[in-house]
Structures are given as structure tokens and as C-alpha cells.
Amino acid sequence: MTKHNSERNKIMRLLHTMLRVGNLERSLDFYQNVLNMQLLRRRDYPEGRFTLAFVGYGDEADHTVLELTHNWDTESYNLGDAYGHIAIEVNDAYAACERVKEMGGKVVREAGPMKHGTTVIAFVEDPDGYKIEFIQKKSGSDSVQYSS
């Protein structure tokens, strides 16, 4: 990394991704109980008629998290075709899919090697239809690596 990029990284960091959800309690149940995320903070904004809840795998000071926004007067959203997915690293994509199914969740692509490669991936959907990719951690690796 160049010195310029290193200096820039000290002042910029990805904080969160926001998802609009139709039923906050249902979404919190999914992210906390199915995906094992922690509820980091939650706040109602009565005058604006919305609630924000932040979930993730660690403190916001060190981790990128998800912001779940619930607009009180909206039960569902049209996700359109621009949204892709959120990716989560897992130790075992097959076991992660089984857990999702056991908890009543929806697996939309069973665990297996990605097309044209060997990295094991799977896709599940949250209660609002947002896709979440599980990427199996390579053994002996500190983080996910795509391999062909």
C-alpha cells in the first residue's frame, strides 16, 4: 500500500450498511438468533416514526455492522434489482445452511463450490428477502480467499 493510501485509511473506515425492514422484531430475531449477531444499540425516533437498530459481530468501534431501519408505517419494500448481497465468513457453509433451515430460515443456494472455482459458498435470505452469502473460510487462513 502506498503512503498516500495508508494515510487515507486512518481517516476513512466503512461503518455500516443500512437495510430497510418491514418488521423489526422479526428481523432482529433472524440476525440475532439465526446469524448470531449481537444487538449493539437500538433507538426509537417517535417524531420521525422510525426505529434504528444496529447489529453485528463486534463493537462498532472496530467492526462494520448492519443498520436495520424500520419505518413504522411501512410493512414491506420492493428490493428492486440493484441490491446484491451481504457476505459473511463462516467456518462451515454446509453447517451454517443447516442451522438456517433448522431455525426456519430460507436457503436459496445450498452450500457448494462457486462456479468456476473451489471456494465454498451458499446464499440465504433474511425475512425481508435480502440475500446473504456465506463464504466458507479456507482452512489455515485468517480470512476468506476466493480460489479457482
CA atoms of 54 and 39, how far apart (whole Å) = 6
Residue 100 and residue 94: Cα distance in Å, rounded?
10
C-alpha cell of residue 29: 430475531
Q: What domains sit in the chain, N to C, each tagged with a CATH number?
A: 1-77 (3.10.180.10), 84-148 (3.10.180.10)
67 labeled part of a ligand binding site: yes
In 3-state terms, what secondary structure has residue 59? coil
d(CA 106, CA 136): 18
Q: Identify the pLDDT of residue 139.
A: 80
Residue ranges of the chain with per-residue pLDDT less than 70: 1-10, 140-148
Global pTM value: 0.84
The catalytic residue among 7, 25, 98, 133 is: 133
Q: What is the pLDDT at residue 148?
A: 41
pLDDT in tens, 57-73: 999 999 999 999 999 99
Known catalytic residue: 133? yes
CB 35 within 8 Å of CB 134: no
Is 75 labelled as part of a ligand binding site? no
Q: Is 110 annotated as a binding residue?
A: no
Q: Which three cell numbers stand for residue 144?
A: 476468506
Q: Where are the alpha helices (DSSP H) in the chain?
A: 3-9, 24-29, 93-102
> How crowded is residue 124: how many other Cβ atoms within 10 Å of its Cβ?
24
Q: How much is the pLDDT for 90? A: 98
Amino acid at the residue 12: M
